[in-house]
Amino acid sequence: MNPRMLTAPPLAEQVYEAIIDDICNGVIRGGEQLRQEALAERFGVSRQPVQHAMALLKRHGLVRESGKRGLEVVPMDSGFVDHLYDMRLLLDTYAVERSVPGLTEPAVREQAQAILSRGKEAVERRNFADMDTADADFHSFFYTLTDNPFLIDTATLLSQSIRRVMTEVLSRGSVPEWVWDEHERILAAAISGDTKLARRLASQHVEHGRSLMLTAL
């Protein structure tokens, strides 16, 4: 197959990102129907880039077929959260373990500490957008250290749904300050070279997050 056929046109990518932002920010809710004509009018584009964007959204599990209604945003229910966190458990525990060698570099450790500082400051300021960004950056930091392009691509897709769930929780006034205490302990264990402890703490962190999300939803 021609590789060019696998690449969505740039305009379609822009529409795709815009729709993701609306889904993650709650502008478009779970179960809501997506109408191509309305989206094309909203973004000031033709229907073609919207069609490409919808195909990508469907492929990435953010929208689904809904009978004669066309496509709808996949609702966030307990099954959605469980599937999401099952995948995060696999990725995070592996990534934390594989990141240990890279954390011997002072510059890499400084980068991680900077992310921790940003996250804690965001909690103190109760800035939900910055909390969300810092949390995503912390997990992405470990994914990147694996140097595994397949894992990184999978984690990127996963992070879109994680962001969506996190935004929903934060919008209800929940500010999980323990998140950054756990992040700090995970990082400390990884820096010390204790892979078993780092992996166990990462697993506990994911399960703690799963419980928070299920309770909030």
Tens of pLDDT, residue by residue over 148-158, are 999 999 998 88
Domains annotated on the chain, with CATH: 3-73 (1.10.10.10), 78-216 (1.20.120.530)
Query: In sequence order, which residues have a C-beta less than 8 Å from that of residue 82 and are 6 or more positions away?
Result: 210, 214
Residue 122 has pLDDT above 80, yes or no: yes
pLDDT digits (tens, 9 = 90+) for 43-86: 899 999 999 999 988 888 888 888 776 789 988 889 989 999 99
**199 and 97 in contact (C-beta within 8 Å)?**
yes
Please enumerate, as own/partner, the contacts of 190-196 that have beta carbons within 8 Å and a separation of 24 or more. Answer: 190/96, 190/99, 190/100, 190/103, 190/142, 191/103, 191/109, 191/112, 193/100, 195/96, 195/97, 195/100
Please tell me the distance from the alpha carbon of residue 75 to that of residue 64, in angstroms, as a whole number.
10
pTM for this entry = 0.81
Task: List, in sequence order, the alpha helices (H) in 60-194.
Answer: 78-99, 106-125, 128-145, 149-171, 178-192
- State pLDDT tens for residues 123-146: 888 888 788 889 999 999 999 999
- Residue 207 zone, left/alpha/beta (φ > 0; ψ -120 to 50; rest): alpha
Other Cβ atoms less than 10 A from the Cβ of 142: the count is: 27
Tokens of 40: 């094309």
Say how far apart CA 161 and CA 30 lie, in whole Å: 12
pLDDT at 3: 44
Distance of alpha carbon 55 from alpha carbon 70, whole angstroms: 12
Q: Is the separation of the CB atoms in 46 and 14 below 8 Å?
A: no
